[in-house]
């Protein structure tokens, strides 16, 4: 029994000594493994973040290209006015802001990649390619901005010309209307004629006919007292017949004999003017005595 106990006692320290180093190595390996896993996770997160940002920038560049095409088509259209210019100008300003934000994102990526332990040649190439694309699109948008400004300047110049022409047309229209009015007044003055029908008493009451003579003679012209409103105004170019509405009629004013005739229709006289220009050449007033 004593021998067996001594052997057991010997084995226990040996077991403890032999198991001790294995436990320390395991813990060390486990710690290193956990550390590698953490590094791997961090690297994966970092790479995924890089690619997420780059995908966002790619999508943004595609949207910018589509917007550029739309703006180019709309700015080259015929219907380009102030409202279109304002809207397109706002769109271009927004695109420029987006491109600036994307450039800032790429600069941040390059800075992070430069300070990172992760070195990926393809990632650096992609960032460089995206940077060139952004620079290219920025130049195109700036050219669009200049084009819009020039287009707006052309429209403003055209609008100013149109407004000036519109005012000139308005002034000419006003002048023509005034001239037309004066011409009409002159025509009325030139081609207006007046006639009156009445009994001798009616004509005397209106001071058109006097005991000494009738309107048109020196005695009447000197007085100027006859009632002109009693006459009917006509256009001497258009009126060819005057119904006298009387069975008896006599023309008292002087008119060339061959220029007119008195005719009866249904028992009543009608004055027919055969030659208007000749008829009214002596006097623009016609006085007919009807009973």
Give the pLDDT confidence of 128-167 residue by residue, as tens digits.
Answer: 888 888 888 888 788 877 877 877 777 788 778 888 888 9
Indicate whether 72 belongs to any domain.
Answer: yes
Single residue among 126, 156, 186 that ends a domain in this structure: 156
Single residue among 131, 156, 181 that ends a domain in this structure: 156
SS3 of 265, please?
Answer: strand
Rounded to an integer, what distance in angstroms lies between the CA atom of residue 262 and that of residue 273?
9
Give the sheet arrangement for strand 192-198, strand by strand. 232-235, 192-198, 285-290, 249-251
The pLDDT of 35-62, averaged and rounded, is 69
Residues 114 and 22 in one domain: yes
Residues 149 and 257 in one domain: no
Indicate whether 8 belongs to any domain.
Answer: yes
pTM above 0.95, yes or no: no
pLDDT higher for 84 or 201?
201
Percent of the chain topping pLDDT 70: 72
SS3 of 21, please?
Answer: helix
Does residue 87 register a pLDDT over 50?
A: yes
Sign of CA dihedral 58, 116, 101, 146: negative
160, 88 in Cβ contact below 8 A?
Answer: no
pLDDT per residue over 242-282, tens digit each?
999 999 999 988 899 999 999 998 899 999 999 999 999 99
Residues 225 and 109 in one domain: no
Give the per-residue pLDDT at 130: 81
Give the per-residue pLDDT at 127: 77
Give the number of domains in the chain: 2
Work out the pLDDT band at 213, boundaries 50, 70, 90. low
Query: The tokens of 261 are what?
Result: 């005739």
234, 276 in Cβ contact below 8 A?
Answer: no
The single residue listed with the structure tokens 């809207």 is 87
Residues 72 and 213 in one domain: no
Rounded to an integer, what distance in angstroms lies between the CA atom of residue 142 and that of residue 93?
10
pLDDT per residue over 91-135, tens digit each?
778 887 888 888 888 788 777 776 665 556 667 777 788 888 888
Rounded to an integer, what distance in angstroms lies between the CA atom of residue 14 and that of residue 21?
12
pLDDT per residue over 164-206, tens digit each?
888 989 999 999 999 989 888 888 888 999 999 999 888 888 8
Helices within the chain (DSSP H only): 2-75, 82-115, 121-191, 200-205, 218-223, 276-279
The single-letter DSSP state of residue 206 is: T
Single residue among 124, 156, 188 that ends a domain in this structure: 156
CA distances from 118 to 122, 123, 236 (A): 12, 10, 109
Rounded to an integer, what distance in angstroms lies between the CA atom of residue 82 and that of residue 101?
29
Indicate whether 113 belongs to any domain.
Answer: yes
Work out the pLDDT band at 232, boundaries 50, 70, 90. very high
Domain of 215 in residue numbering reads as: 199-290
């Amino acid at each position: 029994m004593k021998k067996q106990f001594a052997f057991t006692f010997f084995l226990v320290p040996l077991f403890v000594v032999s198991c001790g180093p294995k436990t320390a190595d395991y813990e060390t390996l486990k710690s290193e493994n956990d550390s590698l896993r953490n590094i791997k996770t961090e690297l994966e997160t970092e790479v995924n973040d890089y690619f997420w940002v780059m995908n966002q920038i790619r999508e943004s560049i595609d949207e910018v290209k589509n917007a550029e095409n739309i703006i180019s088509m709309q700015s080259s259209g015929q219907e380009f006015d102030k409202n279109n210019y304002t809207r397109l100008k706002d769109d271009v300003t927004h695109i420029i802001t987006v491109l600036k934000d994307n450039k800032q994102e790429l600069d941040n990526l390059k800075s992070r990649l430069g300070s990172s332990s992760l070195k990926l040649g393809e990632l650096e190439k992609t960032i460089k390619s995206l940077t060139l694309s952004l620079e290219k699109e920025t130049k195109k948008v700036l050219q669009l901005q200049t084009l819009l400004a020039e287009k707006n300047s052309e429209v403003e110049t055209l609008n100013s010309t149109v407004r000036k022409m519109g005012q000139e047309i308005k002034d000419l229209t006003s002048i023509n209307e005034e001239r037309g009015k004066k011409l009409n007044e002159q025509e009325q003055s030139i081609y207006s004629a007046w006639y009156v029908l009445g009994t001798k008493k009616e004509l005397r009451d209106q001071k058109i006919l006097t005991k000494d003579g009738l309107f048109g003679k020196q005695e009447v012209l000197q007085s100027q007292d006859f009632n002109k409103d009693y006459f009917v105004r006509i256009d001497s170019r258009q009126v060819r017949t005057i119904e006298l509405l009387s069975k008896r009629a006599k023309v008292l004013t002087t008119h060339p004999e061959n220029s007119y005739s008195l005719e009866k229709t249904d028992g009543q006289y009608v004055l027919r003017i055969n030659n208007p220009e000749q008829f009214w050449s002596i006097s623009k007033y016609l006085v007919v005595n009807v009973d």
